[in-house]
C-alpha cells in the first residue's frame, strides 16, 4: 500500500484527471480533490444532499459533474457542476441520484434519477449557459486530391463580443489545438492537406475568454484522387514555370 486516507463512506469510484488528481464524493456531504500523494487539495460541502454512488464525470473544459441523493426524500437533491478548483459552476435541483453522469460529444449531460413518488428517469441537461460562442461556420473546397494543401475559413461569433479560440479536427486523426485568440466574427484561414483517399469530416468549435465552449460546426470533404501519374509532376513544374499559360488545362486539372 502506498497510502491510506480516511474520508468517509462512498460507493462511488474516483475520477482522475491528466495531472493525477483524484475527485470523489462521500456520504458525509463532502466532495474531495486529492493529489496523487494522498493529500487533500480542497473539499466541497454538498449539503443538503449526500454523494452515494455518483462517480463524477470530467468534461474537456475542466468541469466536474456529479449527483447527490437523500434516502429520506426530504429534498435538496441536485446535480452539481464544479470547476476543478472546487468552485461552483452551477447547481440544479433533481430527484435522488444513484447513477453517475455521462457527457455526450456535444456537451449534453446525462444522469439517472428516481422520484419519491416512484419511477426511474434518465435526464438530459443541454447547454446551460447562453453566452457560449456560436458553432463556427466552415467554408472551403468540398473535394480535392490528396497531398495537396487546401485553405478553409472558420468564423464564430460570441454573444458578448469576446475573443475566441478555435479547436479544429480534420477528420484524419490530426487537429489544430485551440488557435487564437481572434476577434468575435473574424474570418480565420487555416490550411490542411490529407494523406489518403477518403471522405473526411472537418469539425470545429470555439471557446471564449471565459472558457465557455460552444457547439461543433461541420463540413464534409472528399479526397477522391489517390494516384498521380509520373507525368503529372512535369505538368506541375510546367504550370509553376509559366503561371499564366495553359488556362484550359489548368481548369481541367483543377490546378490553382
pLDDT in tens, 61-112: 899 999 998 877 655 688 999 999 999 988 888 888 888 999 987 788 999 9
- Residue 89 and residue 142 in one domain: no
Q: What is the CA radius of gyration of the chain?
A: 25
Q: Which cell goes with 195?
A: 494523406
Please give the mean pLDDT across all residues of the chain.
87
Please name which of 98, 155, 90 lies closest in space to residue 122, comparing C-alpha atoms: 98
pLDDT at residue 42 greater than cutoff 60: yes
Q: 154 falls in which pLDDT band (50, 70, 90)?
A: very high
- Residue 121 and residue 201 in one domain: no
Q: Which residues sit opposite 122 in a β-bridge?
A: 112
CATH at 160: 2.60.40.10
**Which pTM does this prediction carry?**
0.56
Instruction: State the average pLDDT over residues 2-17.
Output: 92
Does 145 reside within a domain? yes
pLDDT in tens, 205-247: 999 998 788 888 999 999 986 545 555 566 666 667 667 766 7
Assign 237 to helix, strand or coil: helix
Q: 163 falls in which pLDDT band (50, 70, 90)?
A: very high
- Domain containing residue 195: 137-227
- Residue 84 and residue 172 in one domain: no
Does 246 reside within a domain? no
Does 10 reside within a domain? no
- Residue 207 and residue 144 in one domain: yes
Alpha helices in 30-90 (DSSP H): none
- Residue 39 and residue 118 in one domain: yes
- Residue 45 and residue 144 in one domain: no
pLDDT value of residue 71 = 73
- Residue 115 and residue 20 in one domain: yes
pLDDT value of residue 230 = 56
Does 49 reside within a domain? yes
Does 232 reside within a domain? no
Does 188 reside within a domain? yes
- Residue 85 and residue 117 in one domain: yes
Examine the fold and report which residue of 125, 154, 188 is the final residue of a domain before the chain moves on.
125
pLDDT value of residue 38 = 95
- Residue 144 and residue 217 in one domain: yes
Assign 15 to helix, strand or coil: strand
pLDDT at residue 192 greater than cutoff 60: yes
H or E segment and range at residue 87: none
Q: Which cell goes with 251?
A: 481548369
CATH at 62: 2.120.10.30
Number of domains in the chain: 2
pLDDT value of residue 227 = 46
Instruction: State the average pLDDT over residues 18-44.
Output: 95
Does 91 reside within a domain? yes
Assign 249 to helix, strand or coil: helix
Percent of the chain past pLDDT 70, that is, above it, reads: 86
pLDDT in tens, 124-139: 887 556 788 999 999 9
- Residue 87 and residue 107 in one domain: yes
- Residue 32 and residue 106 in one domain: yes
Q: Which cell goes with 174?
A: 490530426
Does 210 reside within a domain? yes
Amino acid at each position: 500500500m502506498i497510502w491510506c486516507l480516511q474520508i468517509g463512506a462512498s460507493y462511488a469510484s474516483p475520477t482522475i484527471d491528466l495531472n493525477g488528481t483524484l475527485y470523489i464524493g462521500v456520504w458525509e456531504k463532502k466532495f474531495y480533490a486529492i493529489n496523487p500523494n494522498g493529500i487533500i487539495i480542497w473539499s466541497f460541502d454538498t449539503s443538503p444532499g449526500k454523494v452515494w454512488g455518483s462517480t463524477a464525470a470530467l468534461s474537456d473544459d475542466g468541469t466536474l459533474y456529479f449527483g447527490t441523493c437523500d434516502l429520506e426524500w426530504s429534498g435538496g437533491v441536485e446535480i452539481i457542476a464544479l470547476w476543478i478548483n472546487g468552485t461552483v459552476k452551477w447547481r440544479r435541483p433533481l430527484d435522488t441520484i444513484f447513477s453517475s453522469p455521462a457527457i455526450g460529444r456535444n456537451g449534453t449531460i446525462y444522469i439517472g434519477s428516481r422520484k419519491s413518488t416512484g419511477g426511474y428517469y434518465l435526464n438530459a441537461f443541454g447547454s446551460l449557459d447562453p453566452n457560449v460562442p456560436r458553432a463556427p461556420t466552415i467554408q472551403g473546397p468540398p473535394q480535392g486530391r490528396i497531398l495537396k494543401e487546401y485553405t478553409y475559413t472558420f468564423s464564430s461569433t460570441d454573444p458578448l463580443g469576446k475573443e475566441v479560440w478555435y479547436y479544429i479536427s480534420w477528420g484524419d486523426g490530426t487537429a489544430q489545438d485551440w488557435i487564437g485568440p481572434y476577434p468575435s466574427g473574424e474570418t480565420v484561414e487555416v490550411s490542411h492537406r490529407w494523406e489518403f483517399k477518403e471522405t473526411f469530416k472537418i469539425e470545429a468549435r470555439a471557446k471564449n475568454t471565459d472558457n465557455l465552449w460552444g457547439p461543433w460546426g461541420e463540413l464534409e470533404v472528399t479526397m477522391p484522387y489517390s494516384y498521380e501519374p509520373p507525368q503529372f509532376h512535369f505538368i506541375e513544374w510546367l504550370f509553376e514555370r509559366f503561371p499564366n499559360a495553359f488556362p484550359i488545362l489548368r481548369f481541367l486539372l483543377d490546378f490553382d
